[in-house]
């Protein structure tokens, strides 16, 4: 590293590094999305960089998967930008948010499976902080408008959104849920859960 | 190993191995339940066996965690044996099953966190096959008796039980859910989800 530094001016090195990182994240998203078992060597090859270069930026497969997940969630969050989230009736907006979220997650389903194999659930959830803020904002609005229940803690309702949609990804991957049934199942489940139960729990 | 075999008759060796495995699983359940980062060396020491012996039975930390989880779920399943599951009104039986399941999971919460760090969610779910069969039987009965919805696939309803109760463990560990609130939140969530929604999803 010290020798290279002496030969190449700093800005050019930084630009190279940024280009390499972008290529690695793009290739990682693509390859892990196709095969959750894709290796670091496969990703380096597809990105057109050497393994040493890749390990220079991402010191382990876990670190690579972590960075690729973060990259993919950033793309997903962009897809969730939709002003109807703030204007449509809350239940309709929730159904729309579930459908769009599922569409994006389903596209990256295998990448999520790859992440689930090497990262703790809490870490995966941290990466979803931005999209989950949208979920939280919508649930809060629905509560203010009387469409959603207020007897359960708000963070818990946000968690159930995360948990249910990721369960659907697991169920799809395991072949226990039909592709054609996912959207209906997600919308029915989440809206039932957000509605005040008619009968309270037996004591 | 071959040398030991020549010195010791086979049944004695097998009894030794069984005793060691039992001690390792007991120590693993205890230590990982207290600290999800407990090491293989810690477990070997607490079990009174050498690391070589431990690795002879469980070739990696992942294999050890996997076996300890299976052991703990076996204990948990025994705790869930309760004939009121088949006799009490379905909603009451579900509330009882959630409370008992949470009690057991909460006791082993850190072990579950340890498992979540190294095992895929699908693998963790496989270990819960026996307790989830109880959940399934109860939901089926509730459906027959008209207490639970039938418009969502049965395997999905079973999955939501697994998913929600494990989310609660994550939320407790992350400090986002109060200990005193867990049972109410779980019962309300699961019963809402099992009830037919009054209004169907917006199209």
CA dihedral A58, A123, B65, B107 (to 10 degrees): 160
How far is it, in rounded angstroms, from Cα B112 to Cα B99? 17
Chain A contacts of B192, Cβ < 8 Å? 149, 192-193, 195-197
- pLDDT in the model for residue B84: 80
Residues 6+ apart with CB under 8 A from A178: none
Q: Where are the alpha helices (DSSP H) in B48-153?
A: 51-57, 61-79, 84-87, 90-107, 109-118, 121-127, 129-144
A131 with A189, same domain: the answer is yes
- Choose the mutation target among A139, A156, A159, A161 for the interface with B, i.e. most B CBs under 10 Å: A156
Question: Where residue A79 sits, what CATH number does that domain have?
Answer: 1.10.357.10
Name the residue in chain A with its Cα closest to that of B196: A192
Q: Do A163 and B163 touch (CB under 8 A)?
A: yes
Averaged pLDDT score across all residues of chain B: 89
What percent helix, strand, coil does chain A show, rounded to 5? 75, 0, 25
- pLDDT in the model for residue B6: 55
Which of B 46-75 lie inside 8 A of A, CB atoms?
none
Does the residue A203 lie in any domain? no
Q: Which residue has the higher pLDDT, B76 or B92?
A: B92
Question: Where residue A11 sits, what CATH number does that domain have?
Answer: 1.10.10
Is pLDDT at B80 greater than 90 in this prediction?
no
B89 with B53, same domain: the answer is no
A11 with A52, same domain: the answer is yes
How far is it, in rounded angstroms, from Cα A69 to Cα A55? 17
B77 with B41, same domain: the answer is no
The token pair at A137 is 């904002």
Does the residue B200 lie in any domain? no
Domain count, chain B: 2
Q: Do B189 and A152 touch (CB under 8 A)?
A: yes
B52 with B86, same domain: the answer is no
Q: Which candidate from A120, A151, A153 shows the least CB-CB separation from B177?
A: A153
Q: Do B171 and A155 touch (CB under 8 A)?
A: yes
Q: What is the pLDDT of residues B100-132, one digit of tens each?
A: 999 989 988 899 989 998 898 899 999 999 999
User: What percent of chain A is predicted at pLDDT more than 90?
Assistant: 69
- The ipTM, to two decimals, is 0.84
Supply the range of the domain harboring residue A46.
Answer: 2-59
Chain B contacts of A173, Cβ < 8 Å? 122
Q: Which residue has the higher pLDDT, B14 or B47?
A: B47
Q: Could you say which of B36, B59, B82 is where a domain stops? A: B59
Q: Do A163 and B159 touch (CB under 8 A)?
A: no
Indicate the pLDDT class of residue B203, thresholds 50, 70 and 90.
Answer: very low
Q: What is the pLDDT of residues A39-73, one digit of tens each?
A: 999 999 999 999 999 999 999 999 999 999 999 99
Q: Which residue has the higher pLDDT, A5 or B121?
A: B121
Does the residue A141 lie in any domain? yes
Q: What is the pLDDT of residues A95-114, one digit of tens each?
A: 999 999 999 899 888 999 89
Is pLDDT at B202 greater than 60 in this prediction?
no
Q: What is the pLDDT of residues B170-187, one digit of tens each?
A: 999 999 999 999 999 999
B102 with B159, same domain: the answer is yes
Indicate the pLDDT class of residue A84, thresholds 50, 70 and 90.
Answer: confident
A22 with A100, same domain: the answer is no
Q: What is chain B's Cα-based Rg?
A: 20
Q: Give, for B28, the enclosing helix (H) or strand (E).
A: helix B10-34
Does the residue A89 lie in any domain? yes
Does the residue A9 lie in any domain? yes
Chain A contacts of B160, Cβ < 8 Å? 164, 167, 189
A28 with A80, same domain: the answer is no
Does the residue A201 lie in any domain? no
B83 with B46, same domain: the answer is no
Is pLDDT at B79 greater than 80 in this prediction?
yes
Q: Do A91 and B176 touch (CB under 8 A)?
A: no
Is pLDDT at A201 greater than 70 in this prediction?
no
B95 with B149, same domain: the answer is yes
Q: Could you say which of B18, B34, B59 is where a domain stops? A: B59
Q: What is the pLDDT of residues A118-141, one digit of tens each?
A: 898 899 999 999 999 999 999 999
Does the residue B202 lie in any domain? no
Chain B contacts of A163, Cβ < 8 Å? 163-164, 167
B97 with B170, same domain: the answer is yes
Q: What is the pLDDT of residues A148-174, one digit of tens each?
A: 999 999 999 999 999 999 999 999 999
Does the residue A202 lie in any domain? no
B49 with B92, same domain: the answer is no
């Amino acid at each position: 590293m010290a020798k290279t530094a002496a030969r190449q001016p700093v800005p050019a090195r930084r630009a190279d590094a940024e280009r390499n990182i972008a290529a690695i994240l793009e290739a990682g998203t693509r390859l892990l999305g196709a095969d959750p078992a894709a290796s670091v060597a496969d990703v380096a090859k597809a990105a057109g960089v050497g393994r040493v270069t890749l390990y220079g930026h991402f010191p382990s497969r876990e670190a690579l998967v972590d960075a690729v997940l973060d990259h993919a969630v950033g793309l997903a969050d962009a897809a969730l930008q939709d002003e109807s989230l703030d204007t449509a009736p809350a239940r309709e907006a929730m159904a729309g948010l579930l459908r769009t979220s599922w569409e994006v997650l389903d596209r990256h389903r295998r990448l999520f499976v790859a992440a689930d194999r090497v990262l703790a659930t809490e870490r995966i959830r941290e990466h979803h902080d931005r999209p989950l803020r949208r979920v939280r904002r919508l649930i809060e609005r629905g509560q203010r408008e009387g469409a959603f229940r207020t007897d359960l803690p708000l963070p818990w309702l946000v968690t159930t959104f995360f948990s249910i949609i990721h369960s659907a990804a697991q169920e799809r991957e395991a072949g226990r849920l039909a592709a054609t049934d996912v959207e209906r199942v997600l919308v029915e489940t989440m809206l039932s859960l957000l509605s005040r139960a008619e009968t309270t729990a037996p004591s």
